[in-house]
Amino acid sequence: MKLSIIGGGAWGATLGQLLVDNGNEVVIYDINEQFVLTINQKHVHPFFDLPLPQTLLATNDLQEALAFSDYLVLAVPTKVMRSLLNTINSALKSPKYFINVSKGIEPDTSKRVSEIVEEVISNDHLAGFAVLTGPSHAEEVIRRKLTLLTIASKNMALAQSLQNVFSNDSYMRVYTSDDLIGCEVGGAVKNAIAVVSGMATGLDMGENARAALITRGIVEIVRVVEAYGGKRETAFGLTGVGDLIVTASSENSRNFKAGKQIGLGKSMAQIYQEEKQTIEGVRAIEALHQLALKKGLSLPIIEVAYHVIFEEMPIQDAVTKLLTRTLKSEKID
């Protein structure tokens, strides 16, 4: 099969290798000319300095990528998704399947990527939508280390056909799910909790505190998944708790590392300057803060993280705010 990957960063280029390993023809589109040259001329991953298959091609020409296949794998940061989809919609001449692999929620609107796609891509250009998500550091998938993901769609025939496209017998096993909302939301909220876990680590709060924040963070993932209309069981699967486990204490996670730097006292401006790649969790905290206000949701951990990051609340005040909440029994609801 032919697929076009939109965004050839850490994850997009890695999925390019996976798809070529699985016998597909792949073109990657990216705005970064250097990445395109690195892939086409050196056959090296733009971030990991590891070889890529010679047959994996890249382009700066969006039209070329759109004409190449009927399947568009969206691997750009959520913050550029709406504007990029607008450009794609204007350029499309035929219907496409959209497979989102980014993990975020739009800050101003609290919308999921599937909602943005449905809003922006006209009906005659939208053949179907799926999300591919789960615990996956690109650093490991590029080294062909064992990984399990979930592909979710409202269209189970599409999910099943894509399950076969992305799975292989040596390192990638993909499950299907009909809970598109739960899968999309879990991946975004776990990034927010990973930032908080990193903050606790940077502050040297100890492993007890980190375990507590991660566990109560799972409660917040469940609440958000259900608030959007997703299933509770999905929050406990690969795309929620599974992805949180891989992210929440890993130096491979940009979200965890960004949180750690915040805990160590760095400003977001400094962090963004040093980390050129996508940090979805910080934007997810902003989006979830908006959602909590809109829907009256109780997300105390995400709320204090919002106050620290966006309103300069001293971290000690944030910890006090969490500890002085009314004492209660341990429940998810």
Ligand X SMILES: NC(=O)c1ccc[n+]([C@@H]2O[C@H](COP(=O)([O-])OP(=O)(O)OC[C@H]3O[C@@H](n4cnc5c(N)ncnc54)[C@H](O)[C@@H]3O)[C@@H](O)[C@H]2O)c1
List residues with catalytic annotation: 190
Residue 305 Cβ vs ligand X, minimum distance, rounded to whole Å = 17
Q: Does 259 bind ligand X (CB under 6 A)?
A: no
Phi, psi for residue 3 in degrees, rounded to 5: -140, 145
3, 11, 69, 195: residue in contact with ligand X (rule CB under 6 A): 11
User: Cβ atoms within 10 A of the Cβ of 253, count?
Assistant: 24
Q: Is residue 7 at the binding interface for ligand X, with CB under 6 A as the rule?
A: yes
What's the CA gap between 255 and 278, in Å, rounded? Answer: 9
For residue 129, give the H/E element and its range: strand 126-133
Contact 154, 127 (CB under 8 A): no
Per rule CB under 6 A, is residue 202 in the interface with ligand X? no
| Among 174-182, 226-234, 274-282, 319-327, the segment contacting ligand X (CB under 6 A) | 274-282
Please report whether residue 101 would count as binding ligand X according to CB under 6 A: yes
**Left, alpha or beta for 136 (phi > 0: left; psi -120 to 50: alpha)?**
beta
* CA dist list (Å): 131 to 158, 277, 318: 11, 21, 34
- Among 3, 4, 5, 10, which residue interacts with ligand X (rule: CB under 6 A)? 10
103 makes contact with ligand X (CB under 6 A): yes
Residue sitting closest to ligand X (CB):
9
Rounded to 5 degrees, what are φ and ψ at 5? -100, 125
Which span (29-37, 51-59, 165-173, 201-209) binds ligand X, by CB under 6 A? 29-37
Stretch 62-81 residues interacting with ligand X (CB under 6 A): 75-78, 80
Is 127 in contact with 147 (CB distance < 8 Å)?
no
- Please list, residue by residue across 77-94, b when 16 or more beta carbons sit within 10 angstroms of its beta carbon and e when fewer do: bbeebbebbeebeeebee
278 binds ligand X (CB under 6 A): yes
Select from 12, 128, 217, 259 the one that contacts ligand X (CB under 6 A).
12
Residue 206 zone, left/alpha/beta (φ > 0; ψ -120 to 50; rest): left
- 8/259 with CB nearer ligand X: 8
286 binds ligand X (CB under 6 A): no
Q: Which is nearer to ligand X, 138 or 305 (CB)?
A: 138
List the one residue out of 97, 47, 102 whose CA is nearest residue 79: 102
> Is 104 or 202 the residue whose CB approaches ligand X more closely?
104
133 or 153: CB nearest ligand X? 133
132: contact with ligand X by CB under 6 A: no
If binding means CB under 6 A, how many residues of this protein chain bind ligand X? 26
Q: Which of 137, 257, 260, 283 binds ligand X (CB under 6 A)?
A: 137
| Residue 237 binds to ligand X (criterion: CB under 6 A) | no
Q: d(Cα 47, Cα 50) in Å, to the nearest integer?
A: 8
Q: Does 136 bind ligand X (CB under 6 A)?
A: yes
Q: Could you tell me which residues are beta bridge partners of residue 3?
A: 26
Nearer to ligand X, 3 or 75 (CB): 75
Structure tokens at 227: 């608030």
Residues that bind ligand X (CB under 6 A): 7-12, 30-32, 35, 75-78, 80, 84, 101-104, 136-138, 277-278, 280
